[in-house]
Amino acid sequence: MSQVLVTGGTGFIGSWCVLTLLEAGHTVRTTVRDLRREPALRSWLHAAGPFDDDRLTVVRADLEHPEGWDDAVADCDHVLHVASPTLRHTPANDDDLVVPAREGVVRVLRAARDAKVRRVVLTSAFGAIGIGHPPRSTPFTEEDWTDLDSDIPPYQRSKTLAERAAWQFVEEEGDGLEMTAVHPVGVLGPLLGPDDPPSLRLVRRMLEGRVPACPPFGMGYVDVRDVADLHVRAMTDAAAAGERFLAVAGHSLRVVEMARILRDRLGERAAKAPTRELPVRLTRALGVVNPELRLLRHQLGRDLDATSAKAERLLGWRARPIEDTIAETAESLLAHGIGR
């Protein structure tokens, strides 16, 4: 088995990647920005499944600073670069997200190259593929890139620019370093700990009754456990070198359909979930005063469909039914006291 570095081990995707690797028998080193979080991370992981404690090492490293990265990647065979700057509120300036994401990924790749790491798996996003395009009838694939000339939100811009910088570095300065990019759509699924990831915010607000009506759009969703599984497949399969892989469970899902699934599967515990969809024109008008709705302006009235056919064909990856994931997401939030 390999020794693997996972950046951002306390994050939603990162923690599941750590657990998946440990369960597969790998030795894992993971980075956190604050070592005071190590006891909580170990507790979450042990609660989810047994593993030898000595196969997990937690080290401090921050994407915005050079210190610690050479030590973090030392003697590692592979790197899963999951960490990415995120803000829980809309940034005042795109560079608040773009600069640390772009500089951070190059920092990790440079350290990996110098340490003779075999392959880096980069966690990108659908936001680097399907934003800023005119309406289309065909699903997005790995051949697509988000249109940076469009007025796109800061997070999607940061993911696109970071991934482009990563591929450029590997091509021009990689010295044989392999890279694969994984592109999840909206990531749902159970929590390992009591954190409240931004990707689960919509489900939480539905349970709380804070979504009186659904914004009019559809997009793809995927289970965090399947995202972690795809990372490990992309790390180990020779066919994955130099490739991009979308991670999506089935077709796009309207927000109002997600609300219906919550009510059907959880009954009274999801009684506050909305039952109707807002008209597009009204949603645009509300976006003038609501920053979160304004960020959805490119999606309104559309179904952003994507396909995971490539991951299924090349890596044998399969996603679990999204209806089960939505229900388990809600159950997990409620069990952690979130969304009541």
Active site residues: 159
Distant-in-sequence, close-in-space partners of 145: CB < 8 Å, separation ≥ 6: 128, 129, 160, 164
What DSSP assignment string belongs to 219-253? Answer: E-EEEHHHHHHHHHHHHH-GGGTT-EEEE--SS-E
CB of 191 closer than 8 Å to CB of 330? no
What b/e string do you get for 303-328 counting C-beta neighbours within 10 Å, with b at 16 or more?
Answer: bbbbbbebbeeebebebeebbebbbb
CB of 82 closer than 8 Å to CB of 8? yes
Bridge-based pairing of strands 253-254 and 218-219 is antiparallel
293: left (phi over 0), alpha (psi -120 to 50) or beta: alpha
Distance CA 8, CA 34 (A): 11
Distance of CA 111 to the CA centre of its chain: 23
